[in-house]
């Protein structure tokens, strides 16, 4: 038997146990007309963990889940943390083939799914993934377990192991197969502590969760419970329902990706969110002009977070008071580094660039991933020289604010010049007739790559491609000006709500290889 030592490292499951013990009578989770108190949540966690153990799952082994946001999905996730299982979330909007690959790659033994919505997916995965010993619905899990005794300890204490794997978040796979980001007790505990100390949470947290708990918002649940907050769960994002529930439940905090903010802005010009104190946003670049519109509409309630799955939710932030309405230059920033994470902009030789110069954003700190699962070569490349290399290119001003110019892989090289699509997109979306825009490089016999803009007009908006080309030329110069502009009804999005540039490029690069990075 292993015994604690003086300087034990807490397990992520220990944080769950602490939160549940603090606020037994408070409401923890709400889904439609159903709700659970902290005490009831603890009992359900105990039942779900017991059921998984009865199915033969042991500490360190992987359980995967495919579900929309729901109370039972949160329970299973927290039960995995509590029992020391390795939790593998499958994105509810992901493709079946990606899900099959993730299950196979992660060595998941058990798949738990939401009946009805994902029953057909579960049948497909059962027949296409070797090594799955059990495929069960969420309701099956709770039928297997007896009701827990209220006096029982909700979460068995963990054996302290800083590098024990808590969860694996799979990257989007935009340049190949998804990679499993290995997050340990060290990563997740520090993530929660820094989230609690550095984020501007309301005193009374009523959090509306409309983004999938498989990613960013899922990492916010434990910190919210440690503050005694209530999480209101939506199965997906719907602007009308968001407005209704935000007013009905007097929601004080939420997390949104930029496309969701745009939908709230476009839903109705007179809608407000009077009780909201904090809108956390991130996941992809936001249009400065649309962010300015949101500030004027909803007030100074926005806080941006910038990071990636390899350092979940935590590296830089732009706090509420740092958002300056009308200052589009400031609103293009991803904020400043937060305590606990060292951020540097490095050149290709790993040397810090001078202020104002463009370099790759690199992180170092205790909440960084351990490695990519079974990918030693890619792990070494991503963690080269003791830094997490993000692939994002940026510059930093004298006040410490960082400005991302683009992903390294999205940078366009046209006529020997580096062109950064995000800067062009910011110019385009500032036009009153433009709702959304994506800029890509396409093959060109003269320039190598030519700048192409794909634009969605606002309803009733009138603007020509030439007018937009002239606007970019005026603001950014002739090299950045699009050689062509296509107008479309909507942009393809990834499951995380980002414009899917891989899909946009495919029609132009078929049969040709494109330089990346």
Q: Which fold has domain 12-20+37-184?
A: Rossmann fold (3.40.50)
pLDDT band at 2; cut points 50, 70, 90 = low
d(CA 359, CA 327) in angstroms, rounded, equals: 24
Average the pLDDT over each of 22-36, 444-458, 489-503 and give the range with the smallest value.
489-503
16 close to 44: Cβ distance less than 8 angstroms = no
Q: Is the pLDDT of residue 317 over 70?
A: yes
121 close to 99: Cβ distance less than 8 angstroms = yes
For 49-72, what is the mean pLDDT? Answer: 95
Q: Is the pLDDT of residue 339 over 70?
A: yes
Q: Identify which has the larger pLDDT, 341 or 270.
A: 341
Average the pLDDT over each of 216-225, 414-423, 446-455 and give the range with the smallest value.
414-423
pLDDT digits (tens, 9 = 90+) for 225-265: 999 999 999 999 999 999 999 999 999 999 999 989 999 99
For 44-55, what is the mean pLDDT? Answer: 94
pLDDT digits (tens, 9 = 90+) for 343-396: 999 999 999 999 999 999 999 998 899 999 999 999 999 999 999 999 999 999
Q: How far is CA 151 from CA 35, 140, 154, 411, in A?
A: 21, 25, 8, 58
Q: Can you give the pLDDT at residue 172?
A: 66
Percent of the chain with pLDDT over 70: 94
* Dihedral sign for Cα atoms in the order 417, 422, 423, 425: positive
For 456-474, what is the mean pLDDT? Answer: 93
Give the residue among 501, 451, 458, 500 at the shortest CA–CA distance from 476: 451
Q: Can you give the pLDDT at residue 442?
A: 87
429: three-class secondary structure by DSSP? helix
Terminal CA-CA length for the chain: 50
Q: Which fold has domain 237-407?
A: Rossmann fold (3.40.50)
Q: Can you give the pLDDT at residue 151?
A: 46
For 40-60, what is the mean pLDDT? Answer: 94
Please tell me the number of Cα atoms within 13 Å of 89 on its side-chain side.
Answer: 30
pLDDT digits (tens, 9 = 90+) for 303-315: 999 999 999 888 9
Q: Can you give the pLDDT at residue 517?
A: 43
274 close to 299: Cβ distance less than 8 angstroms = no
Structural domain spans, the chain:
12-20+37-184, 237-407, 411-509
Average the pLDDT over each of 86-95, 155-164, 220-229, 461-470 and give the range with the smallest value.
155-164
CATH 3.30.300.30 fits 411-509, yes or no: yes
pLDDT digits (tens, 9 = 90+) for 120-172: 999 999 999 988 989 999 999 999 876 544 444 555 555 668 899 999 999 86
DSSP assignment, residue 42? H
Give the residue among 363, 410, 428 at the shortest CA–CA distance from 389: 363
Within this chain, domains 12-20+37-184 and 411-509 share the same CATH topology: no
Q: Can you give the pLDDT at residue 363?
A: 94
CB atoms within 10 A of CB 21: 14
For 37-46, what is the mean pLDDT? Answer: 95
CB atoms within 10 A of CB 231: 24
Distance of CA 483 to the CA centre of its chain: 33
Q: Is the pLDDT of residue 40 over 80?
A: yes
pLDDT band at 512; cut points 50, 70, 90 = low
Q: At what angle do helices 12-22 and 71-83 cross, to 10 degrees?
A: 120
Strands 278-281 and 302-308: parallel
3-class secondary structure per residue, 120-177: HHHHHHHHHCCCCCEEEEHHHHHHHCCCCCCCCCCCCCCCCCCCCEEEEEECCCCCCC
């Amino acid at each position: 038997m292993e015994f604690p030592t003086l300087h034990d490292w807490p397990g992520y499951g220990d944080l769950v146990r602490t939160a549940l013990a603090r606020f037994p009578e408070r409401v923890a989770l709400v889904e439609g007309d159903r709700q659970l108190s902290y005490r009831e949540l603890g009992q359900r966690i105990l039942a779900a963990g017991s059921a998984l153990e009865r199915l033969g799952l042991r500490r360190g082994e992987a359980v995967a889940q495919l579900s929309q946001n729901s109370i039972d999905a949160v329970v299973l996730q927290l039960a995995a943390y509590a029992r020391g299982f390795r939790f593998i979330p499958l994105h509810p909007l992901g493709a079946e083939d990606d899900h099959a690959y993730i299950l196979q790659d992660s060595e998941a033994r058990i798949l738990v799914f939401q009946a009805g919505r994902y029953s057909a997916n579960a049948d497909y995965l059962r027949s296409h993934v070797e090594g799955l010993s059990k495929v069960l619905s969420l309701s099956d899990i709770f039928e297997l377990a007896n009701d827990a005794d209220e006096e029982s300890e909700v979460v068995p204490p963990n054996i302290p192991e800083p590098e024990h794997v808590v969860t694996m978040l799979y990257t989007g796979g935009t340049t190949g197969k998804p990679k499993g980001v290995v997050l340990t007790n060290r990563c997740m505990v520090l993530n929660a502590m820094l989230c609690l100390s550095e984020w501007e949470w309301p005193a009374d947290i009523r959090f509306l969760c409309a983004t999938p708990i498989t990613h960013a918002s899922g990492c916010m649940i434990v910190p919210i419970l440690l503050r005694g907050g209530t999480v209101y769960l939506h199965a997906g994002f719907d602007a009308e329902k968001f407005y209704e529930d935000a007013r009905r439940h007097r929601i004080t905090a939420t997390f949104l990706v930029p496309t969701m903010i745009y939908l709230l802005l476009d839903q109705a010009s007179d809608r407000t969110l009077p009780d909201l104190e904090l809108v956390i946003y991130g996941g992809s670049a936001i249009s400065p002009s649309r962010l300015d519109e949101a500030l004027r509409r909803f007030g100074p309630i926005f806080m941006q977070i910038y990071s990636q799955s390899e350092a979940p939710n935590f590296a830089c932030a732009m706090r509420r008071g740092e958002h300056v309405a009308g200052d589009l230059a400031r609103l293009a920033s991803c904020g400043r580094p937060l305590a606990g994470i060292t951020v540097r902009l490095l050149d290709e030789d790993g040397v810090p660039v001078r202020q104002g110069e463009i370099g790759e954003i690199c992180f170092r700190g205790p909440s960084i991933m351990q490695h990519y699962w079974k990918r030693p070569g890619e792990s070494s490349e991503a963690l080269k020289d003791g830094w997490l290399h993000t692939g994002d290119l940026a510059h930093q001003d004298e006040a410490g604010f960082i400005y991302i110019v683009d992903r390294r892989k999205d940078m366009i090289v046209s006529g020997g010049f580096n062109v950064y699509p995000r800067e062009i997109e910011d110019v385009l979306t500032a036009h009153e007739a433009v709702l959304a825009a994506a800029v890509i490089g396409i093959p060109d016999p003269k320039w190598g790559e030519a700048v192409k803009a794909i634009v969605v007009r606002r309803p009733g908006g009138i603007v020509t491609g030439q007018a937009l080309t002239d606007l970019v030329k005026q603001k950014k110069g002739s090299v950045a000006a699009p050689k062509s502009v296509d107008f479309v009804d909507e942009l393809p999005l990834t499951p995380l709500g980002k414009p899917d540039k891989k899909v946009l490029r495919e029609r132009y690069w078929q049969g040709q290889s494109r330089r990346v990075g």
